[in-house]
């Protein structure tokens, strides 16, 4: 009798184990594992895009070491909006002394900015890119170096925002106009040893790939004064990369420099 009871008990235990195994297998087939937090909420909707908070009538002057992303974050603005408002193309290079508007041109909301209701604004119809004629400058520009032009300005091309002037290592690099040095260093990727001269509240000039810088920040320079020695820092050959910028936007230097 004890043997019969024991066998029945053993059979019940086996049945229980088999049943639990089947239940676990069935449950495991319906579990979805996640590797981390999702960008979607419980409803499956995408997280809302951050909203820029324009500061109408205000601007920020770029200080040494600042990036466009830092300035945007400090002012509650999405970096891509700040770049669009100021016409700055990727890779969003900005210079010390440059003035950035903290609001959209004309007071219009930029495309893609999320409105107060959380719904994306209707994007405007795409328009063809029109290259504007050179802005008139009262500055009397002069060539910063002798030598043949080996690279020209291309509107909208982040890799060709100025002209490249060939030469030999040690050739003189001269200030293109009177101004004050607002940057002298090698902190901007792709420019090597770089000097930036501010000529007015709206005009800057930049001199890259130097072998040696001969002026310091805060120093006043005169047109034609040697400010550097030509080199190949950040470049594959000895040359000067020269840019002219109006309100931070690159313009074609050949539209301002005298004919040779």
Taking only the tens place, the pLDDT of each residue in 182-231 is 999 998 888 999 999 999 999 999 999 999 999 999 999 999 999 999 99
Q: Between these two residues, 183 and 30, which has the higher pLDDT value?
A: 183
Which of the following CATH numbers is that of domain 59-107: 3.10.350.10, 1.10.10.10, 3.30.1340.10, 3.40.50.410? 3.10.350.10
Which band of pLDDT confidence, cut at 50, 70 and 90, is reported for residue 14?
Answer: very low
Average pLDDT value for the chain: 78
Looking at the DSSP assignment, which residues form a beta bridge with residue 174?
226
CA 84 to chain CA centroid, Å, is 11
Which band of pLDDT confidence, cut at 50, 70 and 90, is reported for residue 131?
Answer: very low
pLDDT average, residue stretch 42-69: 77
Which band of pLDDT confidence, cut at 50, 70 and 90, is reported for residue 46?
Answer: low
Looking at residue 159, what is its pLDDT?
A: 78
Cα-based distances in Å from 235 to 151, 155, 208: 12, 21, 9
59-107 and 149-255 have identical folds:
no
Are residues 228 and 210 in contact, defined by beta-carbon separation less than 8 angstroms? yes
- How is the chain split into domains, by residue range? 59-107, 149-255
**Residue in 155, 153, 154 with CA at minimum distance from that of residue 165:** 153
15 is written with which tokens? 């049945």
Whole-prediction pTM = 0.60
What is the CATH number assigned to the segment(s) 149-255? 2.70.70.10
**Residue in 138, 178, 148, 153 with CA at minimum distance from that of residue 240:** 148
């Amino acid at each position: 009798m004890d043997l019969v009871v024991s066998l029945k008990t053993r059979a019940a235990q086996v049945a229980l184990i088999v049943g639990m195994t089947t239940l676990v297998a069935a449950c495991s087939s319906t579990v979805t594992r996640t590797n981390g937090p999702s960008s979607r909420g419980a409803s499956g909707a995408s997280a809302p895009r951050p909203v820029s908070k324009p500061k109408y009538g205000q601007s920020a002057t770029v200080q040494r070491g600042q990036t466009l992303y830092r300035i945007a974050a400090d002012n509650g603005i999405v970096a891509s909006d700040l770049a669009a408002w100021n016409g700055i193309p990727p890779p969003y290079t900005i210079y010390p002394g440059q003035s950035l508007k903290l609001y959209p041109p004309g007071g219009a909301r930029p495309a893609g900015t999320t409105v107060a209701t959380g719904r994306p604004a209707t994007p405007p119809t795409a328009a063809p890119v029109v290259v504007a004629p050179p802005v008139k400058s009262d500055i009397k520009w002069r060539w910063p170096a002798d030598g043949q032009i080996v690279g020209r300005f291309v509107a909208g091309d982040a890799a060709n925002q100025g002209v490249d002037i060939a030469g030999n290592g040690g050739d003189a690099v001269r200030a293109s106009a009177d101004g004050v040095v607002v940057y002298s260093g090698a902190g901007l990727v792709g420019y090597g040893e770089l000097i930036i001269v501010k000529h007015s509240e709206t005009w800057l000039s930049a001199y890259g790939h130097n072998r040696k810088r001969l002026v310091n920040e805060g120093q006043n320079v005169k047109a034609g004064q040697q400010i550097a020695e030509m080199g190949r820092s950040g470049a594959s050959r000895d040359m000067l990369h020269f840019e002219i910028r109006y309100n931070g936007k690159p313009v074609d230097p050949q539209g301002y420099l005298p004919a040779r």
